[in-house]
Structure 1
Protein backbone atom coordinates (compact mmCIF):
# COMPACT_ATOMS: atom_id res chain seq x y z
CA UNK A 1 0.00 0.00 0.00
CA UNK A 2 1.37 3.40 -0.98
CA UNK A 3 2.03 6.00 1.69
CA UNK A 4 0.41 9.41 1.45
CA UNK A 5 3.63 10.97 0.15
CA UNK A 6 3.98 8.21 -2.46
CA UNK A 7 0.40 8.80 -3.62
CA UNK A 8 1.00 12.53 -3.84
CA UNK A 9 4.23 12.10 -5.81
CA UNK A 10 2.45 9.83 -8.27
CA UNK A 11 -0.28 12.45 -8.72
CA UNK A 12 2.32 15.16 -9.26
CA UNK A 13 4.09 13.06 -11.88
CA UNK A 14 0.81 12.31 -13.63
CA UNK A 15 -0.25 15.96 -13.77
CA UNK A 16 3.17 17.26 -14.79
CA UNK A 17 2.25 20.92 -14.25
CA UNK A 18 4.52 22.03 -11.41
CA UNK A 19 6.99 24.83 -12.06
CA UNK A 20 9.48 26.47 -9.70
CA UNK A 21 8.00 29.81 -8.53
CA UNK A 22 11.52 31.20 -8.06
CA UNK A 23 13.08 30.52 -11.46
CA UNK A 24 10.22 29.06 -13.55
CA UNK A 25 12.16 25.88 -14.18
CA UNK A 26 10.29 22.59 -14.47
CA UNK A 27 10.03 20.58 -11.26
CA UNK A 28 10.70 16.87 -10.84
CA UNK A 29 10.15 14.52 -7.92
CA UNK A 30 13.43 13.67 -6.18
CA UNK A 31 12.79 11.23 -3.34
CA UNK A 32 10.75 13.07 -0.72
CA UNK A 33 11.42 16.44 -2.32
CA UNK A 34 10.67 18.43 -5.43
CA UNK A 35 13.63 19.94 -7.27
CA UNK A 36 14.14 22.21 -10.29
CA UNK A 37 17.24 22.29 -12.57
CA UNK A 38 18.53 25.37 -10.70
CA UNK A 39 18.64 23.38 -7.47
CA UNK A 40 15.69 24.97 -5.70
CA UNK A 41 14.31 22.26 -3.45
CA UNK A 42 10.92 21.91 -1.78
CA UNK A 43 10.32 19.10 0.71
CA UNK A 44 7.16 17.09 1.28
CA UNK A 45 5.58 17.33 4.71
CA UNK A 46 4.45 14.17 6.48
CA UNK A 47 0.95 14.83 5.13
CA UNK A 48 2.19 15.03 1.56
CA UNK A 49 1.87 18.80 1.17
CA UNK A 50 4.63 21.09 -0.13
CA UNK A 51 5.57 24.65 0.87
CA UNK A 52 6.62 26.75 -2.15
CA UNK A 53 6.83 30.08 -0.32
CA UNK A 54 10.61 30.31 0.05
CA UNK A 55 10.65 27.98 3.03
CA UNK A 56 7.92 29.67 5.03
CA UNK A 57 4.17 30.20 4.94
CA UNK A 58 1.84 32.86 6.18
CA UNK A 59 0.38 32.38 9.67
CA UNK A 60 -2.30 35.06 9.43
CA UNK A 61 -5.00 32.53 10.40
CA UNK A 62 -5.04 30.80 13.78
CA UNK A 63 -5.58 27.06 14.14
CA UNK A 64 -8.81 27.79 16.03
CA UNK A 65 -10.12 29.92 13.18
CA UNK A 66 -9.25 27.30 10.57
CA UNK A 67 -10.74 24.42 12.58
CA UNK A 68 -13.92 26.45 13.17
CA UNK A 69 -14.25 27.17 9.46
CA UNK A 70 -13.70 23.50 8.63
CA UNK A 71 -16.39 22.41 11.10
CA UNK A 72 -18.96 24.89 9.80
CA UNK A 73 -18.23 24.09 6.16
CA UNK A 74 -18.69 20.40 6.89
CA UNK A 75 -22.05 21.32 8.41
CA UNK A 76 -23.02 23.01 5.14
CA UNK A 77 -22.18 26.69 5.60
CA UNK A 78 -21.20 27.22 1.94
CA UNK A 79 -22.91 24.23 0.31
CA UNK A 80 -25.17 26.45 -1.79
CA UNK A 81 -22.18 28.17 -3.36
CA UNK A 82 -20.16 24.99 -3.79
CA UNK A 83 -23.13 23.26 -5.44
CA UNK A 84 -23.26 26.01 -8.07
CA UNK A 85 -19.51 25.79 -8.65
CA UNK A 86 -19.89 22.03 -9.15
CA UNK A 87 -22.78 22.65 -11.56
CA UNK A 88 -20.66 25.07 -13.62
CA UNK A 89 -17.93 22.46 -13.95
CA UNK A 90 -20.42 19.74 -14.88
CA UNK A 91 -22.10 22.01 -17.46
CA UNK A 92 -18.71 22.48 -19.18
CA UNK A 93 -18.83 18.86 -20.34
CA UNK A 94 -15.19 18.24 -19.39
CA UNK A 95 -14.95 14.71 -18.03
CA UNK A 96 -11.55 15.08 -16.31
CA UNK A 97 -11.22 18.78 -15.47
CA UNK A 98 -8.03 20.07 -13.88
CA UNK A 99 -9.11 22.54 -11.20
CA UNK A 100 -7.18 24.94 -8.99
CA UNK A 101 -8.68 26.38 -5.81
CA UNK A 102 -6.63 29.56 -5.38
CA UNK A 103 -7.09 30.40 -1.72
CA UNK A 104 -8.38 27.01 -0.54
CA UNK A 105 -7.95 27.63 3.20
CA UNK A 106 -8.14 24.33 5.04
CA UNK A 107 -9.32 22.45 1.95
CA UNK A 108 -12.88 21.57 2.93
CA UNK A 109 -14.39 23.14 -0.19
CA UNK A 110 -12.28 20.99 -2.52
CA UNK A 111 -13.21 17.83 -0.63
CA UNK A 112 -16.90 18.70 -1.06
CA UNK A 113 -16.39 19.53 -4.74
CA UNK A 114 -14.63 16.22 -5.32
CA UNK A 115 -17.62 14.38 -3.85
CA UNK A 116 -20.19 16.30 -5.88
CA UNK A 117 -18.35 15.90 -9.19
CA UNK A 118 -17.70 12.20 -8.74
CA UNK A 119 -21.39 11.66 -7.97
CA UNK A 120 -22.04 12.90 -11.53
CA UNK A 121 -19.39 10.70 -13.14
CA UNK A 122 -16.79 13.48 -13.37
CA UNK A 123 -13.18 12.57 -12.49
CA UNK A 124 -11.54 15.86 -11.45
CA UNK A 125 -7.87 16.49 -10.81
CA UNK A 126 -7.92 18.91 -7.91
CA UNK A 127 -5.21 21.22 -6.61
CA UNK A 128 -5.46 23.67 -3.72
CA UNK A 129 -3.08 26.47 -2.74
CA UNK A 130 -3.08 28.92 0.13
CA UNK A 131 -0.54 31.25 1.75
CA UNK A 132 -1.53 29.86 5.16
CA UNK A 133 0.72 26.96 6.09
CA UNK A 134 -1.68 26.18 8.94
CA UNK A 135 -4.56 25.85 6.49
CA UNK A 136 -2.59 23.58 4.19
CA UNK A 137 -1.49 21.43 7.13
CA UNK A 138 -5.15 20.80 7.96
CA UNK A 139 -6.01 20.27 4.28
CA UNK A 140 -3.27 17.65 4.05
CA UNK A 141 -5.21 15.37 6.40
CA UNK A 142 -7.48 14.32 3.56
CA UNK A 143 -7.24 10.84 2.13
CA UNK A 144 -8.71 12.07 -1.13
CA UNK A 145 -6.52 12.39 -4.21
CA UNK A 146 -6.14 16.17 -3.89
CA UNK A 147 -2.83 18.05 -4.01
CA UNK A 148 -2.31 20.89 -1.53
CA UNK A 149 0.51 23.45 -1.56
CA UNK A 150 1.53 26.52 0.40
CA UNK A 151 1.94 29.06 -2.39
CA UNK A 152 1.70 32.75 -3.22
CA UNK A 153 -1.13 33.90 -5.50
CA UNK A 154 1.27 36.31 -7.15
CA UNK A 155 3.68 33.55 -8.23
CA UNK A 156 1.81 30.30 -8.72
CA UNK A 157 4.00 27.16 -8.89
CA UNK A 158 2.38 25.93 -12.09
CA UNK A 159 3.23 25.98 -15.78
CA UNK A 160 1.31 28.06 -18.31
CA UNK A 161 -2.01 26.65 -19.54
CA UNK A 162 -2.42 24.06 -16.78
CA UNK A 163 -6.01 24.41 -15.56
CA UNK A 164 -9.53 24.19 -16.95
CA UNK A 165 -10.90 26.13 -13.97
CA UNK A 166 -9.52 28.40 -11.27
CA UNK A 167 -11.80 28.80 -8.24
CA UNK A 168 -11.32 31.98 -6.18
CA UNK A 169 -13.78 32.08 -3.31
CA UNK A 170 -13.91 34.94 -0.79
CA UNK A 171 -10.17 35.58 -1.23
CA UNK A 172 -7.86 38.03 -3.01
CA UNK A 173 -7.15 37.39 -6.70
CA UNK A 174 -4.15 37.60 -9.02
CA UNK A 175 -5.77 37.85 -12.42
CA UNK A 176 -2.45 38.05 -14.25
CA UNK A 177 -1.46 34.68 -12.79
CA UNK A 178 -4.93 33.22 -13.32
CA UNK A 179 -4.77 34.08 -17.02
CA UNK A 180 -1.30 32.55 -17.27
CA UNK A 181 -2.23 29.17 -15.78
CA UNK A 182 -5.62 28.78 -17.51
CA UNK A 183 -5.86 26.51 -20.53
CA UNK A 184 -7.29 28.04 -23.72
CA UNK A 185 -11.01 28.36 -23.04
CA UNK A 186 -10.43 27.98 -19.29
CA UNK A 187 -12.57 29.90 -16.81
CA UNK A 188 -12.21 31.57 -13.43
CA UNK A 189 -15.08 30.95 -11.01
CA UNK A 190 -14.89 33.96 -8.69
CA UNK A 191 -17.08 34.17 -5.57
CA UNK A 192 -17.64 37.68 -4.19
CA UNK A 193 -19.68 38.39 -1.03
CA UNK A 194 -22.74 40.59 -1.32
CA UNK A 195 -23.64 43.24 1.26
CA UNK A 196 -26.06 40.85 2.99
CA UNK A 197 -23.33 38.24 3.56
CA UNK A 198 -23.17 37.38 7.28
CA UNK A 199 -25.15 40.54 7.91
CA UNK A 200 -26.40 39.20 11.25
CA UNK A 201 -22.81 39.21 12.54
CA UNK A 202 -22.21 42.73 11.24
CA UNK A 203 -25.32 44.01 13.00
CA UNK A 204 -24.56 42.17 16.25
CA UNK A 205 -21.11 43.77 16.49
CA UNK A 206 -21.92 47.16 15.02
CA UNK A 207 -19.80 46.80 11.89
CA UNK A 208 -20.35 49.04 8.89
CA UNK A 209 -22.21 47.81 5.82
CA UNK A 210 -20.08 45.85 3.38
CA UNK A 211 -19.62 46.89 -0.26
CA UNK A 212 -18.09 44.74 -3.01
CA UNK A 213 -17.96 47.55 -5.59
CA UNK A 214 -14.16 47.90 -5.62
CA UNK A 215 -13.64 44.13 -5.90
CA UNK A 216 -16.10 43.81 -8.78
CA UNK A 217 -14.68 46.86 -10.58
CA UNK A 218 -11.13 45.48 -10.37
CA UNK A 219 -12.32 42.10 -11.67
CA UNK A 220 -14.16 43.70 -14.59
CA UNK A 221 -11.07 45.74 -15.48
CA UNK A 222 -8.87 42.64 -15.40
CA UNK A 223 -10.97 39.98 -17.14
CA UNK A 224 -14.14 39.52 -19.16
CA UNK A 225 -17.28 38.64 -17.21
CA UNK A 226 -19.30 35.90 -18.90
CA UNK A 227 -21.99 35.47 -16.25
CA UNK A 228 -23.02 36.50 -12.75
CA UNK A 229 -25.29 34.45 -10.52
CA UNK A 230 -26.61 35.55 -7.15
CA UNK A 231 -26.66 32.85 -4.44
CA UNK A 232 -28.49 33.36 -1.13
CA UNK A 233 -28.94 30.76 1.60
CA UNK A 234 -29.54 30.73 5.35
CA UNK A 235 -27.30 28.64 7.59
CA UNK A 236 -28.59 27.29 10.91
CA UNK A 237 -25.75 28.03 13.33
CA UNK A 238 -27.53 26.95 16.51
CA UNK A 239 -25.08 25.17 18.80
CA UNK A 240 -22.08 26.43 16.85
CA UNK A 241 -21.98 30.07 17.91
CA UNK A 242 -18.39 29.99 19.14
CA UNK A 243 -17.16 28.57 15.83
CA UNK A 244 -19.21 31.12 13.92
CA UNK A 245 -17.53 34.01 15.75
CA UNK A 246 -14.06 32.53 15.30
CA UNK A 247 -14.25 31.68 11.61
CA UNK A 248 -14.48 35.10 10.00
CA UNK A 249 -11.61 37.65 9.90
CA UNK A 250 -14.01 40.58 10.12
CA UNK A 251 -14.58 39.76 13.81
CA UNK A 252 -10.96 39.29 14.84
CA UNK A 253 -10.36 40.94 18.21
CA UNK A 254 -14.04 41.77 18.68
CA UNK A 255 -15.60 38.59 20.09
CA UNK A 256 -13.64 37.61 23.20
CA UNK A 257 -16.10 36.77 25.93
CA UNK A 258 -19.06 37.59 23.70
CA UNK A 259 -20.14 34.16 22.41
CA UNK A 260 -23.70 34.87 23.62
CA UNK A 261 -23.95 37.48 20.83
CA UNK A 262 -23.69 34.82 18.11
CA UNK A 263 -26.90 34.67 16.05
CA UNK A 264 -28.76 31.38 15.71
CA UNK A 265 -28.66 31.65 11.92
CA UNK A 266 -26.75 33.67 9.36
CA UNK A 267 -27.30 34.74 5.77
CA UNK A 268 -24.79 33.50 3.22
CA UNK A 269 -25.03 35.85 0.25
CA UNK A 270 -22.63 35.96 -2.69
CA UNK A 271 -22.34 36.31 -6.44
CA UNK A 272 -20.64 33.66 -8.53
CA UNK A 273 -18.88 35.19 -11.53
CA UNK A 274 -17.64 33.16 -14.47
CA UNK A 275 -14.82 35.12 -16.10
CA UNK A 276 -12.13 34.60 -18.70
Structure 2
Protein backbone atom coordinates (compact mmCIF):
# COMPACT_ATOMS: atom_id res chain seq x y z
CA UNK A 1 0.00 0.00 0.00
CA UNK A 2 1.45 3.45 -0.89
CA UNK A 3 2.45 5.77 1.95
CA UNK A 4 -0.29 8.15 3.03
CA UNK A 5 2.14 10.96 3.92
CA UNK A 6 4.63 11.95 1.23
CA UNK A 7 6.91 14.93 0.58
CA UNK A 8 5.53 17.72 -1.59
CA UNK A 9 7.46 17.85 -4.87
CA UNK A 10 6.14 20.85 -6.84
CA UNK A 11 9.02 23.08 -5.76
CA UNK A 12 10.12 26.12 -7.73
CA UNK A 13 13.54 27.66 -8.16
CA UNK A 14 13.72 30.73 -5.92
CA UNK A 15 15.73 32.59 -8.56
CA UNK A 16 13.55 32.17 -11.65
CA UNK A 17 10.41 30.29 -10.55
CA UNK A 18 11.04 27.30 -12.81
CA UNK A 19 10.37 23.74 -11.60
CA UNK A 20 13.05 22.04 -9.54
CA UNK A 21 13.92 18.44 -10.39
CA UNK A 22 16.15 15.73 -8.98
CA UNK A 23 15.95 12.82 -6.56
CA UNK A 24 19.53 12.69 -5.31
CA UNK A 25 21.55 15.13 -3.23
CA UNK A 26 20.68 18.16 -5.41
CA UNK A 27 17.69 19.87 -6.98
CA UNK A 28 18.13 21.80 -10.20
CA UNK A 29 16.03 23.98 -12.49
CA UNK A 30 16.30 23.98 -16.34
CA UNK A 31 18.51 27.11 -16.20
CA UNK A 32 21.06 25.21 -14.12
CA UNK A 33 20.47 26.79 -10.72
CA UNK A 34 21.35 24.03 -8.28
CA UNK A 35 20.50 23.53 -4.59
CA UNK A 36 21.99 20.88 -2.33
CA UNK A 37 19.92 18.78 0.03
CA UNK A 38 21.28 19.20 3.58
CA UNK A 39 22.41 16.23 5.63
CA UNK A 40 19.14 16.23 7.58
CA UNK A 41 17.10 16.15 4.38
CA UNK A 42 15.90 19.73 3.93
CA UNK A 43 16.51 22.28 1.17
CA UNK A 44 17.65 25.85 1.62
CA UNK A 45 15.80 27.87 -1.02
CA UNK A 46 16.31 31.30 0.52
CA UNK A 47 18.69 33.27 -1.72
CA UNK A 48 21.27 35.37 0.09
CA UNK A 49 19.98 38.52 -1.60
CA UNK A 50 16.54 37.98 -0.03
CA UNK A 51 17.82 37.73 3.52
CA UNK A 52 17.21 40.76 5.69
CA UNK A 53 19.78 39.58 8.21
CA UNK A 54 22.61 37.08 8.37
CA UNK A 55 20.51 34.53 10.29
CA UNK A 56 16.82 35.44 9.81
CA UNK A 57 13.89 34.01 11.73
CA UNK A 58 13.83 32.22 15.05
CA UNK A 59 17.14 31.49 16.73
CA UNK A 60 18.32 28.03 17.71
CA UNK A 61 17.35 28.79 21.33
CA UNK A 62 13.84 29.94 20.37
CA UNK A 63 13.29 26.80 18.29
CA UNK A 64 14.39 24.59 21.18
CA UNK A 65 12.05 26.41 23.57
CA UNK A 66 9.12 26.03 21.15
CA UNK A 67 9.86 22.34 20.70
CA UNK A 68 9.86 21.72 24.44
CA UNK A 69 6.67 23.71 25.00
CA UNK A 70 4.68 22.18 22.15
CA UNK A 71 5.85 18.68 23.04
CA UNK A 72 4.26 19.20 26.46
CA UNK A 73 0.84 19.12 24.79
CA UNK A 74 -0.31 22.54 26.00
CA UNK A 75 -1.40 23.56 22.50
CA UNK A 76 -2.75 20.18 21.41
CA UNK A 77 -6.36 21.50 21.25
CA UNK A 78 -5.17 24.04 18.67
CA UNK A 79 -3.54 21.28 16.62
CA UNK A 80 -6.74 19.21 16.77
CA UNK A 81 -8.86 22.17 15.63
CA UNK A 82 -6.44 22.87 12.77
CA UNK A 83 -6.58 19.25 11.59
CA UNK A 84 -10.38 19.33 11.77
CA UNK A 85 -10.48 22.51 9.69
CA UNK A 86 -7.94 21.36 7.10
CA UNK A 87 -9.04 17.78 6.45
CA UNK A 88 -12.25 16.95 4.62
CA UNK A 89 -15.04 15.38 6.68
CA UNK A 90 -14.64 12.22 4.62
CA UNK A 91 -11.36 11.05 3.16
CA UNK A 92 -10.68 12.69 -0.19
CA UNK A 93 -10.05 10.16 -2.96
CA UNK A 94 -6.84 11.84 -4.04
CA UNK A 95 -3.82 13.31 -2.31
CA UNK A 96 -4.17 16.74 -0.73
CA UNK A 97 -1.14 18.98 -1.10
CA UNK A 98 -0.64 20.93 2.13
CA UNK A 99 1.79 23.80 2.82
CA UNK A 100 2.56 25.25 6.23
CA UNK A 101 3.89 28.75 5.53
CA UNK A 102 5.95 29.50 8.62
CA UNK A 103 6.09 25.92 9.87
CA UNK A 104 8.50 26.44 12.76
CA UNK A 105 9.76 23.10 14.05
CA UNK A 106 6.88 21.27 12.36
CA UNK A 107 4.55 20.53 15.28
CA UNK A 108 1.27 21.37 13.53
CA UNK A 109 2.18 19.50 10.35
CA UNK A 110 3.13 16.41 12.32
CA UNK A 111 -0.18 16.55 14.18
CA UNK A 112 -2.01 17.04 10.88
CA UNK A 113 -0.24 14.03 9.37
CA UNK A 114 -1.24 11.87 12.34
CA UNK A 115 -4.89 12.94 11.98
CA UNK A 116 -4.81 12.34 8.22
CA UNK A 117 -3.43 8.84 8.64
CA UNK A 118 -6.17 8.03 11.16
CA UNK A 119 -8.76 9.04 8.54
CA UNK A 120 -7.03 7.31 5.66
CA UNK A 121 -6.39 10.64 3.93
CA UNK A 122 -3.30 10.91 1.72
CA UNK A 123 -1.27 14.11 2.03
CA UNK A 124 1.75 15.54 0.29
CA UNK A 125 3.29 17.92 2.79
CA UNK A 126 5.64 20.91 2.70
CA UNK A 127 6.85 23.04 5.58
CA UNK A 128 8.51 26.37 4.80
CA UNK A 129 10.19 28.64 7.35
CA UNK A 130 12.71 31.43 7.12
CA UNK A 131 14.64 30.05 10.10
CA UNK A 132 17.18 27.39 9.13
CA UNK A 133 17.18 26.23 12.76
CA UNK A 134 13.44 25.61 12.70
CA UNK A 135 13.59 23.73 9.41
CA UNK A 136 16.55 21.68 10.56
CA UNK A 137 14.66 20.69 13.74
CA UNK A 138 11.57 19.77 11.71
CA UNK A 139 13.52 17.67 9.23
CA UNK A 140 15.23 15.75 12.02
CA UNK A 141 11.84 14.58 13.30
CA UNK A 142 10.08 13.65 10.05
CA UNK A 143 11.48 12.56 6.70
CA UNK A 144 7.95 11.86 5.43
CA UNK A 145 7.54 15.54 4.60
CA UNK A 146 9.43 18.12 2.58
CA UNK A 147 11.09 20.89 4.58
CA UNK A 148 12.43 24.07 3.02
CA UNK A 149 14.16 27.21 4.24
CA UNK A 150 12.30 29.96 2.42
CA UNK A 151 10.23 33.10 2.75
CA UNK A 152 6.47 33.68 2.60
CA UNK A 153 7.28 36.75 0.52
CA UNK A 154 8.54 34.49 -2.28
CA UNK A 155 7.44 30.92 -1.70
CA UNK A 156 9.57 28.41 -3.65
CA UNK A 157 6.41 26.65 -4.84
CA UNK A 158 4.91 26.30 -8.32
CA UNK A 159 1.74 28.17 -9.24
CA UNK A 160 -1.62 26.54 -8.42
CA UNK A 161 -0.02 23.44 -6.88
CA UNK A 162 -1.37 23.45 -3.31
CA UNK A 163 -4.79 22.46 -1.91
CA UNK A 164 -4.32 23.84 1.62
CA UNK A 165 -2.13 26.58 3.07
CA UNK A 166 -1.66 26.97 6.83
CA UNK A 167 -0.45 30.23 8.35
CA UNK A 168 -0.11 29.69 12.10
CA UNK A 169 0.48 32.86 14.13
CA UNK A 170 2.50 34.06 11.16
CA UNK A 171 2.76 36.77 8.56
CA UNK A 172 0.30 36.11 5.72
CA UNK A 173 1.30 37.21 2.24
CA UNK A 174 -2.03 36.92 0.46
CA UNK A 175 -0.66 37.45 -3.04
CA UNK A 176 1.75 34.53 -2.63
CA UNK A 177 -0.85 32.31 -0.99
CA UNK A 178 -3.26 33.04 -3.86
CA UNK A 179 -0.55 32.23 -6.39
CA UNK A 180 0.32 28.80 -4.99
CA UNK A 181 -3.24 27.70 -4.14
CA UNK A 182 -5.36 25.82 -6.62
CA UNK A 183 -8.74 27.28 -7.51
CA UNK A 184 -11.07 26.19 -4.73
CA UNK A 185 -8.16 25.61 -2.36
CA UNK A 186 -8.29 26.88 1.19
CA UNK A 187 -6.15 29.07 3.43
CA UNK A 188 -6.31 28.53 7.20
CA UNK A 189 -5.24 31.50 9.31
CA UNK A 190 -4.64 31.06 13.05
CA UNK A 191 -4.16 34.24 15.07
CA UNK A 192 -4.17 35.28 18.71
CA UNK A 193 -7.54 36.34 20.09
CA UNK A 194 -8.05 39.27 22.49
CA UNK A 195 -7.45 37.22 25.64
CA UNK A 196 -4.61 35.05 24.38
CA UNK A 197 -2.02 34.65 27.15
CA UNK A 198 -3.59 37.62 28.93
CA UNK A 199 -2.35 36.58 32.36
CA UNK A 200 1.26 36.48 31.14
CA UNK A 201 0.92 39.76 29.29
CA UNK A 202 -0.48 41.46 32.39
CA UNK A 203 2.66 40.41 34.27
CA UNK A 204 5.27 41.48 31.74
CA UNK A 205 3.71 44.75 30.44
CA UNK A 206 2.80 47.92 32.35
CA UNK A 207 -0.49 48.01 30.41
CA UNK A 208 -2.09 46.08 27.56
CA UNK A 209 -2.65 47.59 24.16
CA UNK A 210 -6.14 47.40 22.65
CA UNK A 211 -6.52 44.30 20.52
CA UNK A 212 -6.90 44.68 16.78
CA UNK A 213 -10.17 43.25 15.48
CA UNK A 214 -10.19 40.59 12.80
CA UNK A 215 -10.45 42.06 9.28
CA UNK A 216 -13.99 42.63 8.04
CA UNK A 217 -12.94 42.03 4.44
CA UNK A 218 -10.32 39.77 2.90
CA UNK A 219 -8.28 40.49 -0.24
CA UNK A 220 -9.36 38.98 -3.54
CA UNK A 221 -9.49 36.20 -4.57
CA UNK A 222 -10.22 34.99 -1.03
CA UNK A 223 -13.69 34.48 0.39
CA UNK A 224 -14.32 33.80 4.07
CA UNK A 225 -16.05 30.51 4.81
CA UNK A 226 -15.84 29.27 8.39
CA UNK A 227 -14.50 30.99 11.50
CA UNK A 228 -13.93 29.56 14.96
CA UNK A 229 -12.91 31.02 18.30
CA UNK A 230 -11.06 28.50 20.46
CA UNK A 231 -10.60 29.16 24.18
CA UNK A 232 -9.22 26.91 26.89
CA UNK A 233 -7.09 27.11 30.03
CA UNK A 234 -3.63 25.68 30.56
CA UNK A 235 -1.49 25.52 33.67
CA UNK A 236 2.26 25.94 33.35
CA UNK A 237 3.62 23.93 36.24
CA UNK A 238 7.23 25.06 36.50
CA UNK A 239 9.54 27.97 35.66
CA UNK A 240 10.99 26.14 32.62
CA UNK A 241 7.59 25.94 30.91
CA UNK A 242 6.97 29.62 31.57
CA UNK A 243 10.40 30.54 30.22
CA UNK A 244 9.88 28.37 27.13
CA UNK A 245 6.52 29.96 26.35
CA UNK A 246 7.95 33.45 26.71
CA UNK A 247 10.98 32.55 24.58
CA UNK A 248 8.86 31.27 21.69
CA UNK A 249 6.77 34.45 21.43
CA UNK A 250 7.55 38.04 20.41
CA UNK A 251 6.74 39.06 23.98
CA UNK A 252 10.27 38.11 25.06
CA UNK A 253 11.67 41.06 23.08
CA UNK A 254 8.79 43.46 23.62
CA UNK A 255 8.74 43.16 27.41
CA UNK A 256 10.83 45.38 29.62
CA UNK A 257 13.65 43.95 31.70
CA UNK A 258 11.46 44.36 34.78
CA UNK A 259 8.63 42.49 33.10
CA UNK A 260 10.92 39.62 32.14
CA UNK A 261 12.22 39.48 35.70
CA UNK A 262 8.67 39.22 37.06
CA UNK A 263 7.97 36.32 34.69
CA UNK A 264 11.22 34.60 35.65
CA UNK A 265 10.21 34.70 39.32
CA UNK A 266 7.00 32.72 38.72
CA UNK A 267 6.81 29.09 39.85
CA UNK A 268 3.56 28.28 38.02
CA UNK A 269 0.99 30.15 35.97
CA UNK A 270 -2.55 29.52 34.79
CA UNK A 271 -3.19 30.94 31.34
CA UNK A 272 -6.02 31.56 28.94
CA UNK A 273 -5.42 30.36 25.39
CA UNK A 274 -7.63 32.30 22.97
CA UNK A 275 -7.16 31.87 19.23
CA UNK A 276 -9.11 32.59 16.05
CA UNK A 277 -9.24 30.08 13.20
CA UNK A 278 -10.40 31.52 9.88
CA UNK A 279 -10.79 29.49 6.69
CA UNK A 280 -10.64 31.41 3.41
CA UNK A 281 -11.43 29.82 0.06
CA UNK A 282 -9.55 30.74 -3.11
CA UNK A 283 -12.13 31.68 -5.69
CA UNK A 284 -11.16 31.19 -9.31
Question: TM-score by structure 1 length?
Answer: 0.87
- Aligned residue pairs, count: 263
Structure 1 gaps, min length 5: 1-10
Rounded Cα–Cα distance in structure 2 between residues aligned with 1:119 and 1:219: 35
SS, match of residue 80 in structure 1: helix
Work out whether 1:275 is the aligned partner of 2:280.
yes
Contact 1:191 1:271 in 2 (8 A): yes
Contact 2:228 2:276 in 1 (8 A): yes
Q: Give the superposition deviation at 1:210.
A: 5.2
Rounded Cα–Cα distance in structure 2 between residues aligned with 1:144 and 1:52: 18
Rounded Cα–Cα distance in structure 2 between residues aligned with 1:235 and 1:119: 26
- How big is each residue's C-alpha offset from its partner over 1:125-153, in whole Å with a ceiling of 9 and x where there is no partner? 21100111111111111134011101111
Work out whether 1:147 is the aligned partner of 2:152.
no
* RMSD, aligned α-carbons: 2.3
Q: Report what 1:73 is aligned to.
A: 70
Q: Report what 1:91 is aligned to.
A: 88
Q: Sort the Cα spacing of 1:77 and 1:210 in 2 relative to 1 into closer, same or farther, 3 A.
A: farther
Q: Report what 1:120 is aligned to.
A: 119
Q: Report what 1:236 is aligned to.
A: 235
Rounded Cα–Cα distance in structure 2 between residues aligned with 1:236 and 1:266: 6
Q: Report what 1:6 is aligned to.
A: none
Q: Report what 2:208 is aligned to.
A: 208
SS, match of residue 200 in structure 1: helix
Contact 2:204 2:262 in 1 (8 A): no
Q: Report what 2:247 is aligned to.
A: 246
Correspondent of 1:28 among 21, 31, 52 = 21
Q: Sort the Cα spacing of 1:63 and 1:119 in 2 relative to 1 into closer, same or farther, 3 A.
A: same
Structure 2 gaps, min length 5: 1-5
Q: Report what 1:217 is aligned to.
A: 215
Rounded Cα–Cα distance in structure 1 between residues aligned with 2:148 and 2:217: 25
Contact 1:69 1:243 in 2 (8 A): yes
Work out whether 1:18 is the aligned partner of 2:11.
yes
Rounded Cα–Cα distance in structure 1 between residues aligned with 2:117 and 2:171: 28
Q: Report what 1:49 is aligned to.
A: 42
Q: Sort the Cα spacing of 1:178 and 1:119 in 2 relative to 1 into closer, same or farther, 3 A.
A: same
Rounded Cα–Cα distance in structure 2 between residues aligned with 1:30 and 1:36: 13
Question: TM-score by structure 2 length?
Answer: 0.85
